[in-house]
Structure 1
Amino acid sequence: MATLAAQRRAQLDGENDPLNPHNRSYPSRIFATALIAGIGFVVGVASSIDSSALRPAAAEFGVSEVTESLATGLYLIGFGVGALFAGPVSETLGRNPVYIVTLTLYMIFIMASGLAPDIGAQLVFRFLAGFFRSTPLTCAGGSISDLWSPMERVSAFPVFANAAFTGPVLGPVMGGFIAQSSAVSWRWTEWTTLIMSGLIRGAVVVFQPETYPPVLLAWKAWHLRAVTGDDRYPYGYDYIFGEIHGTRLGITGLCSLGITVGLFGATALVPLIYKGGGTRLPPEFRLWFSMLGGALAIPISLFWMGWTSYSWISIWSPLDASVLFGYGILCVFISSYQYIIDSYESYSASALASVTLIRYVAAGAMAVVGILFYENMGVHWTLTILGGISALLVPVPYLFYMYGKQIKGKSKYAVAKD
Structure 2
Amino acid sequence: MDTPTTSHHEVVSTTASSFEHSTANSSPEVNVAEIKTPPTVSDGPRSLSDTQDGDRRPEVIMVTLEPDDPENISTQLSLAHKWLLAGIVCATFLQITANSSAFGNATGPIMKELHCGKVVASLGISLFILGLGSGPMLFAPLSEYYGRRPIYIAGLFLYVIFQLPVCLAPNIQTMLVGRFLSAFFSSSFAAVSGGTITDIFDKKTEGDMLVLAMSTFSISPFFGPVIGPLISGFIVQNTKWRWAFWVMMIWSGVLFAIVILFSKETYAPVLTERKVRRLRGEREKNLKDHLVSVFSRDPEKNPSAPVTINEKTPVYYTCALMETKKTQSLGKSVMTNCQRPFGLLSRDPMVLLVCVYSGFLLAIVYGFFVVFPLVFGNIYNFQLQFKGMSFLPLGVGQLTATYGSIPLMRYLTKRFNDKEIAKGKPGGAPELKLIPMMIGCFLCPIGLFWFGWTCYPSIHWIVPMIGSGFFGAGIVLVFAGTFGFLVDGYRVYAASAMAANAFVRSAMACAFPLFARQMFDNWSYHWATSLLGFVSCIMIPIPFVFYIHGEKLRAKSPYAWT
Q: So what's the TM-score if we normalise by structure 2?
A: 0.67
1:102 corresponds in structure 2 to 155
2:290 paired with 1:237: no
2:294 corresponds in structure 1 to none
Q: CA deviation at 1:282?
A: 5.3
* Alpha-carbon distance in structure 1 between the residues aligned to 2:252 and 2:189: 13
* Alpha-carbon distance in structure 2 between the residues aligned to 1:195 and 1:302: 36
1:357 corresponds in structure 2 to 503
2:246 corresponds in structure 1 to 191
Determine helix, strand or coil for the equivalent of 1:284: helix
2:321 paired with 1:268: no
Note the alpha carbon deviations across 1:320-365, whole angstroms, 9 max, x for none: 1011111111112222223334445686444322211111121111
Identity of aligned residues (%): 33
Q: What RMSD, in angstroms, separates the aligned Cα atoms of the two structures?
A: 3.0
Residue 177 (structure 1) aligned to one of 201, 215, 234:
234
Q: CA deviation at 1:180?
A: 1.2
Note the alpha carbon deviations across 1:233-291, whole angstroms, 9 max, x for none: 44321112111111111111111110111011102111333456679965433322222
Residue 393 (structure 1) aligned to one of 539, 550, 555:
539
2:466 corresponds in structure 1 to 320
Conserved? CA contact 1:154–1:274, under 8 Å: no
Q: CA deviation at 1:132?
A: 1.5
* Alpha-carbon distance in structure 1 between the residues aligned to 2:431 and 2:213: 18
**Which residue type is aligned with residue 186 of structure 1?**
W
Q: CA deviation at 1:73?
A: 1.1
Instruction: Work out which of the two has the higher radius of gyration on C-alpha atoms and give 1 or 2.
Output: 2
Aligned 1:183-262 pairs, distance under 5 A: 184-226=239-281, 229=309, 230-231=315-316, 232=321, 233=366, 234-262=369-397
Determine helix, strand or coil for the equivalent of 2:370: coil
* Alpha-carbon distance in structure 2 between the residues aligned to 1:303 and 1:268: 23
Conserved? CA contact 2:159–2:185, under 8 Å: yes
**Which residue type is aligned with residue 270 of structure 1?**
I
2:209 paired with 1:62: no
2:422 paired with 1:285: no
Determine helix, strand or coil for the equivalent of 2:163: helix
2:341 corresponds in structure 1 to none
Determine helix, strand or coil for the equivalent of 1:133: helix
Determine helix, strand or coil for the equivalent of 1:117: coil
* Alpha-carbon distance in structure 1 between the residues aligned to 2:194 and 2:488: 10
* Alpha-carbon distance in structure 1 between the residues aligned to 2:256 and 2:87: 13
1:373 corresponds in structure 2 to 519
Aligned 1:149-188 pairs, distance under 5 A: 149=203, 152=208, 153-181=210-238, 184-188=239-243
* Alpha-carbon distance in structure 2 between the residues aligned to 1:144 and 1:361: 27
Determine helix, strand or coil for the equivalent of 1:268: helix
Conserved? CA contact 2:101–2:125, under 8 Å: yes
**Which residue type is aligned with residue 64 of structure 2?**
L
More helix by share: 1
Quick one: structure 1 residues 48 and 378, their matched pair in 2 at CA, closer, same or farther if it must change by over 3 Å? same
User: Where does structure 1 lack aligned partners over 5 or more consecutive residues?
Assistant: none
1:307 corresponds in structure 2 to 453
Conserved? CA contact 2:166–2:245, under 8 Å: yes
The number of residue pairs the alignment matches comes to: 411
Determine helix, strand or coil for the equivalent of 1:312: coil
Q: CA deviation at 1:51?
A: 0.4
Residue 78 (structure 1) aligned to one of 124, 131, 141:
131
* Alpha-carbon distance in structure 2 between the residues aligned to 1:272 and 1:106: 39
* Alpha-carbon distance in structure 2 between the residues aligned to 1:288 and 1:33: 27
* Alpha-carbon distance in structure 2 between the residues aligned to 1:282 and 1:19: 35
Conserved? CA contact 2:27–2:494, under 8 Å: no
**Which residue type is aligned with residue 368 of structure 1?**
L
**Which residue type is aligned with residue 226 of structure 2?**
V
Quick one: structure 1 residues 413 and 17, their matched pair in 2 at CA, closer, same or farther if it must change by over 3 Å? farther
Quick one: structure 1 residues 334 and 17, their matched pair in 2 at CA, closer, same or farther if it must change by over 3 Å? farther
Conserved? CA contact 2:380–2:461, under 8 Å: yes
Note the alpha carbon deviations across 1:135-190, whole angstroms, 9 max, x for none: 34432333334344396554332211222211100100111111111xx3211111
Quick one: structure 1 residues 277 and 392, their matched pair in 2 at CA, closer, same or farther if it must change by over 3 Å? closer
* Alpha-carbon distance in structure 2 between the residues aligned to 1:188 and 1:285: 47
Determine helix, strand or coil for the equivalent of 2:194: helix
**Which residue type is aligned with residue 272 of structure 1?**
L
Quick one: structure 1 residues 235 and 247, their matched pair in 2 at CA, closer, same or farther if it must change by over 3 Å? same
Conserved? CA contact 1:294–1:332, under 8 Å: yes
User: Where does structure 2 lack aligned partners over 5 or more consecutive residues?
Assistant: 1-24, 33-42, 44-61, 283-307, 310-314, 322-365, 418-426
* Alpha-carbon distance in structure 1 between the residues aligned to 2:248 and 2:505: 22
Determine helix, strand or coil for the equivalent of 1:247: coil
* Alpha-carbon distance in structure 1 between the residues aligned to 2:276 and 2:548: 43
**Which residue type is aligned with residue 503 of structure 2?**
L
* Alpha-carbon distance in structure 2 between the residues aligned to 1:222 and 1:402: 50
2:140 corresponds in structure 1 to 87
Quick one: structure 1 residues 412 and 167, their matched pair in 2 at CA, closer, same or farther if it must change by over 3 Å? same
Residue 178 (structure 2) aligned to one of 119, 125, 130:
125
